[in-house]
Structure 1
Amino acid sequence: PQANLTTQHIEEVANLPYLGRALCIITGASRGFGRTIAQELSHVVKPGSAFVLVARSGDDLRTLQAELTDSEAGRAGLRVQYVEADLGLPEGLERVTTAAKEVATDLIDHVLLVNNAGSLGDISGFTKSFTDMAEVNSYLSLNVSSFLCLTAQILQAFPQRPGLRRSVVNISSLCALKPFSSWVLYCSGKAARDMIFRVLAEEEPDLRVLNYAPGPLDTDMQLEARSKSGDMLLRKSCNEMFSKGQLLSCEESCGKLMKLLMENTYTSGAHIDFYDI
């Protein structure tokens, strides 16, 4: 069923312009939504494009790299490099930026950064339980600080020039807009990321900036939400969505993201939800 969904969404955007000969940097690419983004982007970029896949799981990245460079799958001419890194550490960010510079060529006409990496954090307790600054700082380092710094590093590494399109995507959430009890770290991180990109859109009018909320996805993160949420009503709601088949597949949501990127008519800095499209 997932393969059919991918084919369906590729057909839906077949008449739209391709994303060009692109350098695509995708964080959190080893599994779930990030992996699906990499797979679907590989079908809508031109030969000569390059991908930098980033995650902490090297084995999963190697498997994805092999899949994306399989010429029999219709991806001839795609160069793929992976970076096994912890984005919560400065050296992790530097390795990603270095890899992006290494695989880029003068023929690249689109630089696309997809900030997908992130975590729920501790969702078992409530706001008043977070007295440990080290725990909070560790969460914000991975989910907010690295997000800002990686975006800044990539923009500096690939400055604006004639003929170059630059796009940055934040994989956002309804939690950026709405409070969820027992999810204080996650909601705060998502809200901060959205605002960072809203500011960026104001500062860089030539840059295409998008906050995309993919909707409730059937991923490991949702499994964590329905098993560990401290708020019992929220946990019940997550379980009901799962049992009633109301979760979205990564392919279904990613299809709408591809459409947004290729139509390229969204307001820069906007927060766009799966259900808005």
Structure 2
Amino acid sequence: MTNDHVLLFINAGSLGTISQFSSFTDPAEVQAYITFNVSSALALTAGVLQAFPHRPGLKRTVVNVSSMFAQEPHPRWVLYCTAKAARYMMFKVLAEEEPDVKVLSYSPGPMDTEMQQEIFRQISITRELMSCEKPGSKLLMLVLDSDFSSGAHIDFFDAC
């Protein structure tokens, strides 16, 4: 028996249009955003799980890089909040359906990335951003130690 470990990190995402809820009257615009940010994560994860089916000695872990926006509404962020919440629930369903797969939604906090800088600019926050090393190290420790319940949502600041 081997100790193989398949690790899948779902980190792709986009901010989309930051605008009032009532401005989203074009279903094609909304669908394109949901397809990129939700449907593609579902299809990719399903494909990886099919390529690496359950077998003795194989650990499978899926990490959904999440955000506080998955659990907290923010005005003008309807697309982003909706996609993050949908992915969180989608991966909770995976955890229920596939008990041998460890599933984690991890919110790394405000890291110094181009996307985070744009988020802060959009919501007029001036706060210091963390380097990616601290949240990344914490995530790696959580995953390698399997120190979480499958389907959990863990925030970097709660895990410290």
Query: Normalising by the residue count of structure 2, what TM-score does the alignment of the two structures yield?
Result: 0.95
Rg larger in 1 or in 2?
1
Residue 253 in structure 1 maps to residue 148 in structure 2 = no
Residue 221 in structure 1 maps to residue 103 in structure 2 = no
Shift of 1:114: 0.4
Secondary structure at 1:193 match in 2: helix
- CA separation in 2, counterparts of 1:119 and 1:108? 35
Residue 175 in structure 1 maps to residue 69 in structure 2 = yes
Secondary structure at 1:165 match in 2: strand
Give deviations 1:85-141, integer Å, cap 9, x for gaps. xxxxxxxxxxxxxxxxxxxxxx77111110000011111x11100011111111011
Give deviations 1:224-245, integer Å, cap 9, x for gaps. 2233x3xxxxx22x2x21xxx3
Residue 119 in structure 1 maps to residue 1 in structure 2 = no
For the structure 1 residues 132 and 270, does the alpha-carbon distance in structure 2 shift closer, same or farther, using more than 3 Å as the test? same
Aligned residues: 158
The match for 1:151 is: 45
Residue 208 in structure 1 maps to residue 102 in structure 2 = yes
Secondary structure at 2:82 match in 1: helix
What are structure 1's unaligned runs of at least 5 residues? 1-106, 230-234
Identity of aligned residues (%): 57
Where in structure 1 do 4 or more consecutive aligned residues deviate above 4 Å?
Answer: none
What are structure 2's unaligned runs of at least 5 residues? none
Query: Normalising by the residue count of structure 1, what TM-score does the alignment of the two structures yield?
Result: 0.55
- CA separation in 1, counterparts of 2:116 and 2:97? 34
The match for 2:59 is: 165
Secondary structure at 1:113 match in 2: strand
The match for 2:158 is: 276
RMSD: 1.2
Q: 1:263 aligns with which of 145, 149, 155?
A: 145
Residue 129 in structure 1 maps to residue 23 in structure 2 = yes
The aligned runs of 1:71-90 (5 Å cut-off) are: none
Shift of 1:248: 1.4
